[in-house]
Amino acid sequence: MSRLVQSIANASIDDATLQVALIGNPNTGKSTAFNRLTGIRQRTGNYPGVTVERRYGTCSLDADHNATIVDLPGTYSLAAASADERVVVDVLSGHIPGTRLPDVAVCVADATNLMRHLFLVSQIAETGVSVVLAVNLMDAAESQGISIDAKLLSERLNIPVVPMCASRGRGLDELRAAILKAHQQPTKMNNLQWPQAVHEATEYLRQSLAAEKARDLTPPELLRLLFDQDSAIADRIGWSAAQHRMHVDQARTMLHEANLDPDTVEPMLRYAFLAEIMENVVTHPTVRRATGGESIDRLLTHRFWGLIVFAALMYGVFWTIYTGAGPMMDAIDGTFGWLGEIVGTQLESWPMIQSLVVDGLIAGVGGVVIFLPQILILFFFISLLEDTGYMARAAYLMDKLFSWCGLNGKSFVPLLSSFACAIPGVMGARTIDNPRSRLTTILIAPLMSCSARLPVYVLLIGAFIEPKYGSAIAAAVLFGMHLLGLVIALPFALLFNRVIFKVKRSPFILEMPSYRVPDLRDALWRMWNRGKDFLMTAGTVILAMSIVIWALSYFPRGEEVAEHEQTVFITEYAAAHELSPQRVGELIEAGNEEVTGELDAHIEGAYLEQSYLGRMGKAVQPLFAPAGFDWKTTVGVLASFPAREVIISTLGITYNLGADVDESSEGLIGSMKSAHWPDGSPVFTIPVALAVMVFFALCMQCMATLAVMGREAGWGWAAFGFTYMTVLAWFGAVFTYQVGTWIGNMA
Amino acid sequence: MTTLNLMKKNQSGRIASIRAAGSLTGRLMAMGLLPGAKVQVLGVAPLGDPMLVQLEGCRMSLRRSEAESLTIEE
Ligand SMILES: Nc1nc2c(ncn2[C@@H]2O[C@H](COP(=O)(O)OP(=O)(O)O)[C@@H](O)[C@H]2O)c(=O)[nH]1
């Protein structure tokens, strides 16, 4: 155990060790190589300020040398159009706070399509970093009859070339040796020579920067400024948009004058150079062998059968989550309930400590752990779907559904998972590599109706809709509540993209990776990591918040509240049961279970009403009056901000029934039906019931989701998500109540 | 001469030129969609967009709006 802790601690970025960056196109096996090189000595986090995952770990190269390895996001070029590509550029030019420039860049390339992968390698070598080329997926190339002369390629490029099969661990020792060597004797790749006009244009840019005392750029950065119109480098140099346009246009005109098209000159020249390098390096079979993947692909991307398979797969995944997670969640719930009881009995003589430990700590921890089964199962499947290459096909099939609101097909799985629970949904948004789409998906995921909202719907529909309108309408309302979030979420996605991110449409070009047999160990490993991530980050926040909410609902707790409530109770009970008050007092003294049980529930209700939370509920009730909520419902709403399912037990307490009620409790339904305003009109009318449901459907009453959003997208965005959803929920509830009442009056 | 977005399933041809707005041209080319490269349309997604194309060495999904920037010769 201590060794594990020790090695994880070593994985922190340490200036003394060698820094290695793993770079390559998506799906080249970079992560597989990273896992093999670092083993358990790795960590994940975010790059500062962006929703791009940062993974780093420690690898020992030989007995005396350790390296810190960073697994960079997959990218096709250094043009840095999106934030994850920009991270690659920033790491290579040392612009990430807290990290050094990498000493060695390991470029991972796909042996089955080597030429295209060398494009990025050539760009990276230009930045001056010492490059090692790892040609991965050698086994896949062999099975397609492709052979690669690594030695010849290494001679021509003048850099070490390591053939590799990361998934089987082949070539990794050679890679470690090559990294060490490339550190001790930095490599310098033979690269293309730019025509004179390009040199003149970059020289012009350099002089303009110098003349205006803007930031200096290195020659490769000047190339990016020249070639890439939306280059991320632009916002670093401190030019105004007009200055930038003027200088860059001028430099590009210089290319035009030399008959070079500034948009295409870079790829054209690079590929021409690479074509020369690659001559006789790769031998393709004379007849192209049809891979098994092609016929599978024909089925899986078919307009009709593809959809059927997709629906069946998704159904299977979510069926497994529901049926698999359910018993585990019940078991967790049961265990924590049992633990609470045992500890509760031990602490009986210190009521406050007892309540803190049982209702605050144990219930809080239980409320975190309960999400674990869903997260683990979903991430296991996501890993499999990604590693087999199916996820890209799913994104292809679903893309049109999301393209109009600025998202893309990759949002489908995270949003679908959010119907079970927003937490794995938000975490699953990591599979979306465009950071803006990822952020938008994270912001709308909690609007999907998760399973924790179900008890609220069941309670209110069962109590108010079904008895009046029958089960068909009740089912329709239940379905409508589930649809509501989705129907509102997509226009909101459009709004965020237009108003906040100011993008019209981002291109969506997705390479379909070859089908591969997934590695079970990797899938389990990733599943475990996600679970751990969740427990560590969300857990602490949720625990802290649970204690705060517990304190608000526990304090102040004066003796006189209980005494007063007991007097009131005795009078009421005596009147209701035609007993003398003395007799009731005797029954209580004698410990008659029926009477004391009811008395305890009344005292609990009185305490809650007197608590800070109860007072807050009464104070903010006017705010919820336009939605038709009374103070009890308002307290329920406030109490359920940490976790929406708490509403049921809170209502149980406010209605003097105790916390042990569920959504089908006759007692609770009966009390809510007979609740009256002081003027005698019922508290719960159909519009009120609907308004409460709409509020719960749209509000982010889940601390765990909030914590996970904070971790995945930053606390600012979590706060934004919380705010917009709360405002939206309030408007939704008021709208529902007002329109519902208006229709009711018309009828 | 046609553009990629107008091609039917199973049609193939060679890329003649690429002309897209902003940085998209460079991006498409970096991904291997180069003048002279062979392309074949493998199909279209159920809702009519995006399209699936086969290139030498890889297959790719792109939306019709992006496919429009690729001129194809038979
Ligand atoms: N056949 C084969 N599959 C590999 C190899 N390396 C990785 N894979 C598989 O390729 C898929 C994508 O790998 P991953 O590491 O996630 O790629 P990344 O996107 O570059 O990080 C996974 O299913 C891996 O198991 C290899 O050398 N041979």
| A167 CA from centroid of ligand 1 (Å) | 6
Who contacts A590 (Cβ-Cβ below 8 Å, separation ≥6)?
Answer: none
Residue whose entry in the numeric block shows the structure tokens 């108003």 = A499
- One-letter amino acid at A72 equals L
Residue closest via CA to ligand 1's atom 11 equals A387
Say if the Cβ atoms of A267 and B59 lie within 8 Å: no
Shared domain for A209 and A155, answered yes or no, is: no
Q: Do residue A336 and residue A432 come from a single domain?
A: yes
β pairing state of A104-110 and A130-136: parallel
What per-residue confidence (pLDDT) applies to A631? 84
> Do A229 and B22 lie within an 8 Å CB cutoff?
yes
Axis crossing angle, helix A196-211 with helix A241-257, rounded to the nearest 10: 160
Lookup: tokens for A41: 């000595």
- C-alpha dihedral (B39, B44, B48, B50), degrees to nearest 10: -60
Return the pLDDT at A4.
44
- Do A516 and A649 lie in a common domain? yes
* Alpha carbon distance A681, A741 (integer Å): 14
Whether residue A465 lies inside any domain: the answer is yes
Q: Is residue A497 part of a domain?
A: yes
CB of A93 within 6 A of ligand 1: the answer is no
Residue A107 β-bridge partners? A23, A133
A138's enclosing H/E stretch is: helix A138-143
* Nearest of A283, A517, A526, A318 to residue A418 by alpha carbon: A318
Q: Which residues have a Cβ under 8 Å from the Cβ of A220 and sit 6 or more positions away?
A: A123, A126, A127, A128
CB of A389 within 6 A of ligand 1: the answer is no
Do the Cβ atoms of B26 and A511 come within 8 Å?
A: no
Candidate from B22, B42, B45 with C-beta closest to A400: B45
Q: What separation in Å is there between the alpha carbon of A116 and the centre of ligand 1?
A: 17
Closest of A263, A269, A277 to residue A115, by C-alpha: A277
For residue A432, give how far its alpha carbon lies from the nearest alpha carbon of chain B (Å). 15
A180 shares a domain with A215: no
SS (H, E, C) chain B: CEEHHHCCCCCEEEEEEECCCCCHHHHHHHCCCCCCCEEEEEEECCCCCCEEEEECCEEEEECHHHHCCEEEEC
- Residue identified by tokens 């998506």 is A26
Q: Bridge-partner residues for A62, per DSSP?
A: A65
ipTM, two decimals: 0.95
Q: Which residues contact A466 (CB under 8 A, 6 or more apart)?
A: A473, A474
Neighbours of A299 (CB within 10 A): 11
Q: Is residue A189 included in any domain, yes or no?
A: no
Using the beta-carbon criterion (under 8 Å), do A77 and B27 form an inter-chain contact? yes
* Cα–Cα distance, A32 to A140 (Å, whole number): 15
Domain end among A184, A214, A234: A184
Residues A341 and A472 in one domain: yes
Q: Which residues of chain A have pLDDT under 50?
A: 1-15
Closest residue of chain A to B46, computed from CA coordinates: A303
Element (H, E) at A357: none
Tell me which DSSP letter residue A431 carries.
Answer: G
Q: Which residues contact A293 (CB under 8 A, 6 or more apart)?
A: A514, A515
Rounded to two decimals, what is the model's pTM? 0.82
- Cβ–Cβ of A303/B43 closer than 8 Å? yes
Distance of CA A411 to the CA centre of its chain: 11
CATH of residue A80's domain is 3.40.50.300
B2-73 carries CATH number 2.30.30.90: yes
Other C-beta atoms within 10 Å of A398: how many?
25
Q: Mind listing the pLDDT tens digit for each residue in B2-60?
A: 999 999 999 999 999 998 877 788 889 989 899 999 999 999 999 888 999 999 888 99
Measured in angstroms, the CA of B73 and the nearest CA of chain A are apart by 19
Query: Which atom of ligand 1 has the smallest separation from the CA of A164?
Result: 27
Q: Which of A77, A112, A298 sits opposite B57 (nearest CB)?
A: A112
B31:A511 CB<8 A: yes
Structure tokens at B16: 């003649």
Searching chain A, which residue's CA lies closest to the CA of residue B57? A113
CB-based contacts of A244-253 (< 8 A; 24+ apart in sequence): A247/A204, A247/A205, A247/A208, A248/A205, A250/A204, A250/A208, A251/A201, A251/A202, A251/A204, A251/A205, A251/A226, A252/A201, A252/A226
Check CB contact of B65 with chain A, cutoff 8 Å: yes
**One domain for residues A202 and A339:** no
Phi, psi dihedrals of residue B24, rounded to the nearest 5°: -65, -35
Instruction: Write down which residue in A138, A158, A184 finishes a domain.
Output: A184
Report the residue from B23, B35, B52 with minimal CB separation from A396: B52
Say yes or no for a CB contact (<8 Å) between B61 and A400: no
Q: Which atom of ligand 1 is nearest to the CA of A388?
A: 23
What is the C-alpha separation between A533 and A593, in angstroms, rounded? 46
Q: What pLDDT is recorded for position A48?
A: 65
SS3 readout for A638-707: HHCCCECCHHHHHHHHHCCCCCCCCCCCHHHHHHHHHCECCCCCECCCHHHHHHHHHHHHHCCCEHHHHH
Residue A3's pLDDT is 44
Count of H-run helices and E-run strands, chain A: 35, 10
Closest listed residue to residue A736, CA positions, set A650, A591, A628: A628
Q: What is the Å distance from ligand 1's center to A27 Cα?
A: 6
Q: Does B6 touch chain A (CB under 8 A)?
A: no
Confidence (pLDDT) at A138: 95
A140 lines ligand 1 (CB under 6 A): yes
C-alpha span between A308 and A286 (Å, rounded): 37
For CA atoms A9, A15, A19, A21, the dihedral sign is: positive
Task: Map residue A510 onto helix, strand or coil.
Answer: strand
Q: Which two tokens stand for residue A291?
A: 């891979």
Cα-Cα end-to-end distance for chain A: 70
- Taking the Cβ of residue B43 and every Cβ of chain A, the question of whether any pair is shorter than 8 Å is answered with yes
Which residue type sits at A67? A
Query: Which one of A79, A113, A303 has the shortest CB-CB distance to B46?
Result: A303
Number of domains in chain A: 3
Of B35, B57, B66, the CB nearest to A509: B66
Alpha carbon distance A641, A722 (integer Å): 10
Which residues of chain A does B34 touch, with a Cβ-Cβ cutoff of 8 Å?
267-268, 271
Task: Tell me the C-alpha distance between A670 and A120, whole Å.
Answer: 69
Instruction: Compute, in angstroms, the gap from residue A641 CA to the centroid of ligand 1.
Output: 42
pLDDT of amino acid A89: 85
Q: How far is CA A333 from the centre of its chain?
A: 25
- Cβ proximity of A708 and A426 under 8 Å: yes
Chain B residues whose beta carbon lies within 8 Å of the beta carbon of residue A77: 26-27, 30
Whether A543 and A636 map to the same domain: the answer is yes
Nearest atom in ligand 1 to the alpha carbon of residue A34 is 15
**Contact assignment for A264 to B46 by CB distance below 8 Å:** no
User: Do A643 and A746 fall into the same domain?
Assistant: yes
Contact A167 CB / ligand 1 (< 6 Å): yes
Asked if residue A383 has its Cβ within 6 Å of ligand 1, the reply is no
Cis omega (within 30 of 0) on the bond before A262?
no
Please indicate, yes or no, whether residues A47 and A163 belong to a single structural domain of this protein. yes
Q: Which domain holds residue A139?
A: 3-184
In a domain, A264, yes or no: no
| Co-location of A201 and A152 in the same domain | no
Q: What pLDDT, on a 0 to 100 scale, did the predictor assign at position A730?
A: 94
What CA–CA distance (Å, rounded) separates B32 from B30? 5
Regarding the beta carbon of A166 and ligand 1, being less than 6 Å apart is answered: yes
- According to the model, what pLDDT value does residue A1 have? 37
Query: Is A606 part of any domain?
Result: no
| Phi, psi (rounded to 5 degrees) for A285 | -65, 150
Specify whether the CB–CB gap between A449 and A477 falls below 8 A.
Answer: no
By the CB < 8 Å criterion, does B62 face chain A?
A: yes
Q: Are residues A225 and A363 in the same domain?
A: no
Q: Is the CB of A75 under 6 A from ligand 1?
A: no
Contact across the interface for A509 and B34, Cβ inside 8 Å: no
- My answer on whether A298 and A381 are in the same domain is yes
A472: in domain: yes
* Domain ranges (residues) in chain B: 2-73
Q: SS3 for A131?
A: strand
How confident is the model over A590-610, as pLDDT tens digits?
A: 777 777 777 777 777 777 788
